[in-house]
């Protein structure tokens, strides 16, 4: 199939549109905020979760950037109601419950990889399952163990409780799942009695090849603009050659369309059903019929838009690195620096931290790219976004410790 030639800004706006970051006009006015939240997760395919809590956790910031009036407790309510389940997609994610069968290939892979380790924990695993069967759901702290073993984050010395290690292995293999959260604390129960019977049966009947194909298709819908170089392609273990083969096969079948993006060397692809939507953005760019909506949003480090860093460089000309694991002395933008989206441009970064005791939002750095003109309109939009960010975190005040330009917002 011949590549479709298109300009970079049209692709950028198309991507933002499919990531629900251009406007919120596609949400029904008669829906509750909780229903809108579930709809958004379905449209995004999944939302990545993370435990870092400099401010609200990643999953809540992703949804707050897209769903007006979203509150963090809504995600747990959807989890408790059985509308969502947590599992490995782009990483640890919250996923619509109806997609549970699609991940059978991943569960099978983990069962094979972890069979020996689970065997070593024999009696510990049996004890955990017996208690969940009898008492569940239970949090990790309900299980006590004197023995320490090598967990996923232990390097030299074994520091992980044997019961905690067993819980993590059982989660990965799909034997148990998270059914509730209280803050950062997870409550576990048996999968067999907390997943609808029809979905369990569909998963059991799904062969590995079908599951892998369905996962790849879900990945493509989540990314919308994708390339074969992404090591996470299909959310499964694939070599570079296998990724290239998977994409080329779909090009030949006509189930993906290659793009020739002006000024971009990397080859990107979209789904055929998205071509008309891309063409509409292309026409808007060509005719100058763009919306004046330049809403400012702060995107968390693991936002769906940011999953592919190379794509940010190619489409937005924006370099971004999450510096949470960078030594403090080597950080340029800060521990939790979040990209700032204004309209269809990434214009800088904000590094926020929440002083929960004093209810103050501390902005350690507010940085705007040197080529961005700081107009009165941009100042107003940044002020509005910061005030909304403060309100979302239920803070009473905000401090800006450092700004790289003379922004003069407050």
Q: What is the dihedral of CA 79, 36, 218, 337, to 10 degrees?
A: -80
Burial class of residue 170, CB neighbours in 10 A (0-12, 13-18, 19+): buried
pLDDT tens, position by position, 88-138: 999 999 999 999 999 999 999 999 999 999 999 999 999 999 999 999 899
pLDDT tens, position by position, 325-383: 999 999 999 999 999 999 999 999 999 999 999 999 999 999 999 999 999 999 999 99
Distances (CA, A) of 291 to 254, 295, 299, 339, 410: 32, 11, 21, 22, 27
How much is the average pLDDT of 54-64? 98
Residue 24: is its pLDDT beyond 60?
no
The per-residue DSSP string of 171-199 comes to HHTTSEEEEEEETTEEEEEEGGGTS-HHH
How many residues in the chain? 410
Residue 25: is its pLDDT beyond 90?
no
pLDDT at res. 50: 96
The total of other beta-carbon atoms located within 10 Å of residue 207's CB is 11
CA separation for the pair 128, 156 (Å, rounded) = 26
- What angle, 0 to 180 degrees and rounded to 10, lies between the N-to-C axes of helices 197-205 and 104-120? 90
CA separation for the pair 181, 74 (Å, rounded) = 11
**For the chain, what is the mean pLDDT?**
93
Q: What angle do CA 68, 69, 70 make, to 5 degrees?
A: 95
pLDDT tens, position by position, 182-209: 988 999 999 999 999 999 999 999 999 9
How much is the average pLDDT of 57-69? 97
How much is the average pLDDT of 369-398? 95
Say if CB 42 and CB 96 are below 8 A apart: yes
* Count of alpha carbons within 13 angstroms of residue 149, beta-carbon side: 17
CA separation for the pair 37, 94 (Å, rounded) = 12
pLDDT at res. 180: 97
Distances (CA, A) of 166 to 151, 203, 225: 9, 23, 38
Burial class of residue 261, CB neighbours in 10 A (0-12, 13-18, 19+): buried
Q: What global pTM score does this model have?
A: 0.95
Domain residue spans of the chain: 318-400
Q: Does residue 341 have a cis peptide bond before it, meaning omega lies within 30 degrees of 0?
A: no
Residue 46: is its pLDDT beyond 90?
yes
**Structure token pair of residue 343:** 């309209």
Using the 8-state DSSP alphabet, how is residue 195 labeled?
S
Give the start-end residues of each E strand in 75-133. 84-88, 92-96
Place of tokens 């990945």: 219
Residue 156: is its pLDDT beyond 80?
no
């Amino acid at each position: 199939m011949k590549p479709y030639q298109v300009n970079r800004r049209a692709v950028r706006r198309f991507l933002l549109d499919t990531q629900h970051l251009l406007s919120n006009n596609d949400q029904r006015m008669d829906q509750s905020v909780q229903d809108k939240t579930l709809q958004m997760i379905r449209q995004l395919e999944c939302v990545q979760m993370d435990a870092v809590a400099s401010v609200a956790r990643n999953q809540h910031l992703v949804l707050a950037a897209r769903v007006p009036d979203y509150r963090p407790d809504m995600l747990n309510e959807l989890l408790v109601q059985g509308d969502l389940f947590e599992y490995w997609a782009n990483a640890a994610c919250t996923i619509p419950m109806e997609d549970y069968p699609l991940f059978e290939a991943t569960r099978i892979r983990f069962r094979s990889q972890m069979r020996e380790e689970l065997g070593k924990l024999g009696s510990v695993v049996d004890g955990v399952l017996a208690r969940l069967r009898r008492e569940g759901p239970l949090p990790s702290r309900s299980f006590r163990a004197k023995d320490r073993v090598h967990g996923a984050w232990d390097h030299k010395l074994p520091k992980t409780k044997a019961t905690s290690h067993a819980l993590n292995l059982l989660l990965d293999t799909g034997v148990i799942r998270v059914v509730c959260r209280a803050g950062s604390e997870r409550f576990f129960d048996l999968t067999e009695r907390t997943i609808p019977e029809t979905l369990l049966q569909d998963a059991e009947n799904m062969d590995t090849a079908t599951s892998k194909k369905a996962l790849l298709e879900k990945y493509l819908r989540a990314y919308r603009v994708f390339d074969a170089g992404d090591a996470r392609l299909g959310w499964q273990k694939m070599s570079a050659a296998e990724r290239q083969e998977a994409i080329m096969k779909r090009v030949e079948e006509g189930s993906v369309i290659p793009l020739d993006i002006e000024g971009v060397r990397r080859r990107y692809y979209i789904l055929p059903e998205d071509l008309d939507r891309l063409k509409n953005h292309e026409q808007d760019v060509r005719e100058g019929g763009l919306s004046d909506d330049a809403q400012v949003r702060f995107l968390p480090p693991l936002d769906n838009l940011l999953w592919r860093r190379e794509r940010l460089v190619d489409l937005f000309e924006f370099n971004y690195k999450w510096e949470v694991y960078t030594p403090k002395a080597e950080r340029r933008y800060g521990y939790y620096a979040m990209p700032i989206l204004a309209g269809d441009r990434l214009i800088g970064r904000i590094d926020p931290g929440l002083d929960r005791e004093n209810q103050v939002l501390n902005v350690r750095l507010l940085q705007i790219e040197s080529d961005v003109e700081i107009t009165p309109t941009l100042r107003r939009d940044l002020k509005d976004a910061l005030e909304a960010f403060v309100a979302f975190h239920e803070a009473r005040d905000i401090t800006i410790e450092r700004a790289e330009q003379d922004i003069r917002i407050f």
